Structure 1
């Protein structure tokens, strides 16, 4: 039973890794001995996060724009130039759009779907050779797709494309896992509730009120999401396949 939760020595890619949940996962990896590549669109913030994490271990920043196929291909090409084997891919990059249903624009729908769903599928596809090269029968490589509780229950917000995209991520996780696990690539997901991020800034202004309505009586913290990601990328979860872990302090359980 020794080292069941160890990820030391692995190579990971974390998209949307400059802030929020992505940065939390990246930090957990770096502190536990994972060579971690982070990517996002804004170079200054990305490099700042990489510099901070590099004080704890090995973290490398590569700028990308995964909202377009050209951006997905460019990032994948750069990663495959640098690494022939990739143990872990965390598909976390995402966008949100809010508007009343009567005013919801096609551009807001397409922007969210392209980044939140399309990029997950095509980046995973492009990095499959390196993931398969790293995977073994008793130690498969990992893909972890970041979904959301908004893809499971009514969000009570006007983020229609976001909630639809996250429901799609949960189904895509199941579908890809069933097809790819025989080739030593294991896929699961995480559906976070409220964690501090740019996307949840409007809720964080009322953090105490929101926390009081959660069974856990608090919002998510770094250890919660980093620990869950480490579990899903370690030997301890080898037999967990195609599932999305709800990480929400009881929000979904408490939904009426």
Structure 2
């Protein structure tokens, strides 16, 4: 029989949710949700590799995060790597770079994504191939390509972590005509569950976060139109955008000791959109 953990054995909150000294990879980390995640992990003391197909933007984001880390006195660092994950060559190139420069990966965040919107009768084939390649195919092959590094990081008391960024649009029927996007994210949710079962014995957890509207520059066009924004908030029971702390708190939970016993789960970070639907 396992004995109950005493209060003396329970880690303090700063240890329970710590990512200090961990190595993370965040794809699509130069802007939006990816940059939020990278910043939160670096300020928590992690070494984070961010990727983006735009080299200059990726470098600028890394420099800004590192300057903030220096000012905060944290040991975390951010390293930029240019990579276009919409192509097989881009995925292979990133896997090769990671294998050459890292010995292990504690946390892999598959965040890079693409979307496409068009009326049903006009929806083009490229709107499917580009979105599926970026949102579903690339995360799968990035996980399989980095398995040796993830396995190197896994320990009995500290699993390696894969965190896939899905979407509320894969949990509820979207209002917009983004057919390939919602389908790709639903596929990513299923791959999350499938790989969680397969990789559990390797000491690797696989979970997903399904964000609703998060306050980033990618929603500036919504915020600029009061009517559109009001219509959006009508769908959100909490009546607001998700903020940086909402996102980072969820990522830190999944990436730290606090989330060690969770795998195969899709967390709806959506202000109640999916959970309160009906």
Relative to the length of structure 2, the TM-score reads 0.89
Residues 138-185 of structure 1, C-alpha deviations (whole Å, 9 max, x = no match): 211000000000001011110000000010011000000000011011
Q: Write the distance in 1 (CA, Å) between the matches of 2:240 and 2:107.
A: 29
Q: Does residue 273 of structure 2 align to residue 251 of structure 1?
A: yes
Any conservation in 2 of the 1:193–1:248 contact (CA below 8 Å)? Answer: yes
Structure 1 gap segments, 5+ residues each: none
Any conservation in 2 of the 1:69–1:119 contact (CA below 8 Å)? Answer: yes
Q: Write the distance in 2 (CA, Å) between the matches of 1:169 and 1:197.
A: 22
Greater shift, 1-10 or 168-177, is seen at: 1-10
Residues 42-66 of structure 1, C-alpha deviations (whole Å, 9 max, x = no match): 1111111100001113100010011
Tell me the secondary structure at the aligned position of residue 119 of structure 2: coil
Aligned length: 256
Q: Write the distance in 2 (CA, Å) between the matches of 1:222 and 1:95.
A: 21
Greater RCO (Cα-Cα under 8 Å, separation 6 or more): 1
Query: Which residue is 2:4 aligned to?
Result: none
Residue 79 of structure 1 deviates from its aligned partner by 0.9
Residue 204 of structure 1 deviates from its aligned partner by 2.9
Runs of 4+ aligned structure 1 residues displaced above 4 Å come to none
> What is the aligned counterpart of 1:86 among 79, 91, 105?
105
Query: Which residue is 1:29 aligned to?
Result: 41
User: Over aligned residue pairs, what C-alpha RMSD do you find?
Assistant: 1.3
Greater shift, 108-117 or 196-205, is seen at: 196-205
Structure 2 gap segments, 5+ residues each: 1-9, 70-75
Query: Which residue is 2:131 aligned to?
Result: 112
Q: Write the distance in 2 (CA, Å) between the matches of 1:95 and 1:197.
A: 15
Residues 18-37 of structure 1, C-alpha deviations (whole Å, 9 max, x = no match): 01110000011000000011
Relative to the length of structure 1, the TM-score reads 0.96
Q: Write the distance in 1 (CA, Å) between the matches of 2:243 and 2:266.
A: 19
Q: Write the distance in 1 (CA, Å) between the matches of 2:127 and 2:250.
A: 31
Q: Does residue 20 of structure 2 align to residue 8 of structure 1?
A: yes
Residues 200-253 of structure 1, C-alpha deviations (whole Å, 9 max, x = no match): 343333465133552222101111111101100111111111001000111112
Residue 199 of structure 1 deviates from its aligned partner by 4.5
Greater shift, 93-102 or 188-197, is seen at: 188-197
Any conservation in 2 of the 1:96–1:199 contact (CA below 8 Å)? Answer: no
Which of these two proteins has the greater Rg computed from alpha carbons? 2
